[in-house]
Chains A and B, each alone.
Chain A
Amino acid sequence: MALAKLKIDTTEARLADVDVPQGAAWGNAARADAMARVRQMGLPTKRDEYWKYTDPTSLTAVNASEAALFVNDEGPLFADVDRIKIVFVDGIFDADASDNLIGEGVEVERLADAMATDIHWAKDLYGVLEARGQNPVERPLAALNTALATDGVVIRVTGKAAKPINFIYLHKDVSSDAILHNLVKVEAGAELTLLETGPAAARFSKQLEVEVAEGGTFHHVRAQGRDHERRAVTHCFARLAANSTFKSFTLTFNGVLTRNECILEIVGDDAVAHVAGICVGDGKDFHHDDTVFVTHDALNGESRQVFKKVLRNGATGVFQGKILVKEGAQKTDGYQISQSLLLDEDSQFLAKPELEIYADDVACSHGSTSGAIDETALFYLRSRGVSHDDARNLLTLSFLAEALEEIEDEGLAEDLRARLEGWLTRHR
């Protein structure tokens, strides 16, 4: 079917003046293929079904809108965690601020270096999971990222990584427009925890492709925060082999537009895939979208999607979550819950939960709710002497607890909980 004129115009305008980074032959081919996918699909417009609740116009625009830098008195997140820091400033790798890219059990390289190397493992991953993830739902912004990504790192994990790796995304330039692409390959039986923190850029396109081999474990904890005017579209594509584990958690504060897509494919038996998120938004210009697609294509797979949103003063939250169980993926255990706490009548939560099941021996459940603060509980707390605002914070945190519990590392969960408490206290 021919693309609509609006789509073609949007796409061609965006691509008119871009620089495609050059590297080794395979790298150039991967980018050219991605560029072809972008042109074939066309960039999204608000007429697309998959973008019904989130207007992509500012993400596909030729130029990024400015985003002011907001300051609060909080120090850097995970400051007490012993980790390998990899710092990007407005989407550009900062070697001086970063730790040595050498860790026990992990090999880390800059994306540009990997893509300039003729023979490299990254060849089998860069843009590969993204291309697979274009079916059955098109994700042209991910293809655009693959074609244009200017920086990023590639990580191969061969053992149990001694420390977590922390991508720290600093935002210093009010008009930065960053496109990052990271790869993680967790080899058989290996383990890695990846942390991602920071507002990144005025406009941020980020992709993470993760391959978890047999028996491998990948934990991912991310915090997108601070700057109210920032925009971001992120994609995480993961493919899971037998007996592997993938667990991802994202905390989002502020931001006029955040679209986080997570596309997981379970291809080996007995694999576990969990994806969870919390967002807290204040104000009618806050818009946050979690779009998740989990495909079960193996036996005994377990997947969980747990998403909670706290919205106030006209904020908007979106959840589009799908579990697809392919024929033969028996004994699949799929779970999905999306809930919002609406702190006033102006805020809204738009949810589209979907199950599509072609196997006959599976257990899949999903639920979605929107609610206000429980007035009875609020009174109970106040009758014990807890102030109205503190009681509301406590109840808000209790609403979020189920999602926070998805983080296995208690120290990391506690750091994020403290951030949430700080945010709730500042936004009364």
Chain B
Amino acid sequence: MLEIKGLEVKLEEEDKQILKGVDLKIEPGSVHAIMGPNGSGKSTLSYVLSGKDGYEVTAGSAHLEGADLLDMEPEDRAANGLFLAFQYPVEIPGVGNMTFLRTAVNAQRKARGEEELSAGDFLKEVRAKAKDLKIDADMLKRPVNVGFSGGEKKRNEILQMAMLEPKMCILDETDSGLDVDAMKLVSEGVNALRSEGRSFLVITHYQRLLDHIKPDVVHIMADGRIVKTGGPELALEVENNGYADILAEVA
């Protein structure tokens, strides 16, 4: 599904290397988690993959089902099936949530040469999916993320994911700012989307999210590299002992 080879990235504005050779291969249908201390480059990886400005790729590659991601505009990456659930979803006053969702869904369909969803079909689908995430009609009507609580914003991200049906979902610290109940709701939303053809990359500081979204593979990232890869037990090790032991071990 996603294959990253030797990816090196620096900030455009300052000459600062953030990623120093990331290798990662995610098979279709699998869930990978990346854990790591602050500043290890986890969020940068998610931004670079989704095409945010301000980063310069100095070496390496990233392919989604064989297509060169780094060569595409952000909207084309999305149309090709990449989705990033933001750590801090952006508030857009003046644009209704529903309008935004419909614009996004139809833009992707159009880019893929598919027919646009009719207003009726769209409404039916969005209502059903919103209900599962306990998103009420009012939240759908309000401007995108404006006045939403932390939990509502994250649920709204998962709703977008459910509507856009991406192949490769990156969740950037989706657990940050969530209480236990909200985390459960969000995780259920994510788990409902797990399927053979869809892969996940879950970026998190903490093991607790991985209790709900069970990963197949866990990576530890530090100083711009993946320094250790293992099974779900690796996340438990981090939870119990912190990063220090692992980092000392690989140093």
Contacts and interface: CB of A to CB of B under 8 A. Distances in A.
A394 B53 CA distance: 19
Contacts of A386: 75, 103-104, 107
A383 B107 contact: no
Contact of B84 (A374, A383, A391, A395): A383
B75 A385 contact: yes
Nearest to A400: B94
B107 A390 contact: yes
B92 A398 contact: yes
Contacts of A398: 92-95, 143
A385 B95 contact: no
A380 B93 contact: no
A397 interface: yes
* Among A376, A379, A390: residue with most chain B CB under 10 A: A379
Nearest to A384: B104
A97 interface: no
Interface in B37-89: 50-53, 73-75, 77-79, 83-84, 86, 89
Contacts of B52: 379, 383
A379 B104 CA distance: 13
A382 B51 contact: yes
B80 to A, nearest CB: 9
B191 to A, nearest CB: 22
A390 B86 CA distance: 21
Contact of A384 (B53, B73, B78, B94): B78
Contacts of B160: 384
Nearest to B76: A385
A363 interface: no
A383 B53 contact: no
A385 B90 contact: no
B90 A397 contact: no
A380 B75 contact: no
A344 B57 CA distance: 27
A19 interface: no
Contacts of B103: 386, 390, 394
Contacts of B107: 384-387, 390
A379 B103 CA distance: 15
The listed residue with most B CB atoms (<10 A of its CB), out of A374, A375, A383, A395, is: A383
Contacts of B143: 398
Given A397-B94, A398-B92, A385 B73 contact: no
Contacts of B108: 384-385
A385 B104 contact: yes
Nearest to B80: A385
B93 to A, nearest CB: 6
A283 to B, nearest CB: 25
Contacts of A402: 94
B92 A382 contact: no
Nearest to A380: B90
Interface string B138-178: 00000100000000000000001000100000000000000
A89 B84 CA distance: 55
A395 B89 CA distance: 16
A383 B78 contact: yes
Nearest to A405: B94
B92 A385 contact: no
Interface string B7-23: 00000000000000000
A376 B88 CA distance: 10
A387 B160 CA distance: 17
Task: From A374, A390, A391, name the one whose CB has the most chain B CB atoms within 10 angstroms.
Answer: A391
A56 B51 CA distance: 48
A401 interface: yes
A241 B160 CA distance: 51
Interface in A353-386: 374-377, 379-386
B111 interface: yes
Contacts of B84: 383
Given A383-B74, A384-B164, A385-B108, A377 B79 contact: no
B188 to A, nearest CB: 22
A204 B111 CA distance: 46
A301 to B, nearest CB: 28
A399 B215 CA distance: 41
B101 to A, nearest CB: 8
A388 B93 contact: no
A263 B104 CA distance: 43
A379 B50 CA distance: 9
A399 B94 contact: yes
Contacts of A390: 103, 107
A398 to B, nearest CB: 3
Contact of A385 (B86, B94, B164): B164
Nearest to B163: A384
Nearest to A394: B95
A30 B126 CA distance: 64
A382 B94 contact: no
A377 B74 contact: no
Contacts of A387: 75, 107
A395 B92 contact: yes
Nearest to A397: B94
B120 to A, nearest CB: 20
Given A394-B103, A397-B95, A380 B79 contact: no
Contacts of B50: 383
18 contacts: A374-B90, A380-B90, A380-B92, A382-B74, A383-B83, A383-B86, A384-B78, A384-B104, A384-B107, A385-B78, A385-B79, A385-B104, A385-B108, A388-B73, A391-B75, A394-B103, A398-B92, A401-B94
Q: 9 closest Cβ contacts across the A-B interface?
A: A398-B94, A401-B94, A385-B78, A385-B108, A384-B104, A382-B74, A380-B90, A398-B95, A385-B107
Interface of B: 50-53, 73-75, 77-79, 83-84, 86, 89-95, 100, 103-105, 107-108, 111, 143, 160, 164
Given A385-B75, A385-B107, 12 more contacts: A379-B74, A381-B104, A382-B51, A384-B78, A384-B100, A384-B107, A384-B164, A385-B78, A385-B104, A385-B111, A390-B103, A402-B94
